[in-house]
Amino acid sequence: MHQTVLFTSLVLMMAVAAIFLFSLSRSGAGDGSKKAPKLGALRFVLFIGALVLGAAVSIGSLRPWPRAVAAGADVVSVKVTGSQWSWEIDRKTIPVGKPVTFNIATTDVSHGFAVYDAGDQLLVQSQAMPGYINRVSYTFRTAGKYRIFCMEYCGVAHHDMTDEILVVAQ
């Protein structure tokens, strides 16, 4: 299958290159009219304009990196382990206002660890990947119950992979 895809891609790329080279050779043999240089200049301006616009839109729409992983003595470390189909969380009561770092792992397949507030707003999330410990930090500003969901389909009981943590005033 891979060989077929590779061969087809190569043939199509050669066809595109042949069309491109043919067009280039034809544009050099113009009829001598004065329109050709103007069109070339317009094309150049449009090309540069598209490049500048594309770069501006790409850079302007970049989002800042997710929150940095909190470090230090006051950080609350929480170990989270996903397994089909539940979460094991070693600390379910968390102080409000303190940075919390979730250390997220899985014993089987990939899962998606996500924390939602009472208004069903997603606050923080990270993938749980076999062989890795992913870390993500968050500081809870309001006491209350927060719900945990799995964000990645992981089997027939994926929908059951929920849990809760409690954020309490210090």
Applying CB under 5 A, the residues found at the interface with Cu ion are: 150, 154, 158, 161
Which one, 70 or 161, has the nearer CB to Cu ion?
A: 161
Which one, 96 or 109, has the nearer CB to Cu ion?
A: 109
Closest approach of Cu ion to the CB of residue 85, in Å: 7
Closest approach of Cu ion to the CB of residue 152, in Å: 5
Q: How far apart are the first and last CA of the chain?
A: 60
- With contact defined as beta carbons under 8 Å apart, do 165 and 93 qualify? yes
Closest approach of Cu ion to the CB of residue 44, in Å: 52
Which one, 111 or 167, has the nearer CB to Cu ion?
A: 111
Where are the extended beta strands (E) located within the chain?
A: 76-83, 86-89, 93-95, 99-106, 111-116, 122-128, 134-139, 144-150, 163-168
Dihedral of CA atoms 155, 160, 161, 167 in degrees, nearest 10, equals 170
Which one, 95 or 116, has the nearer CB to Cu ion?
A: 116
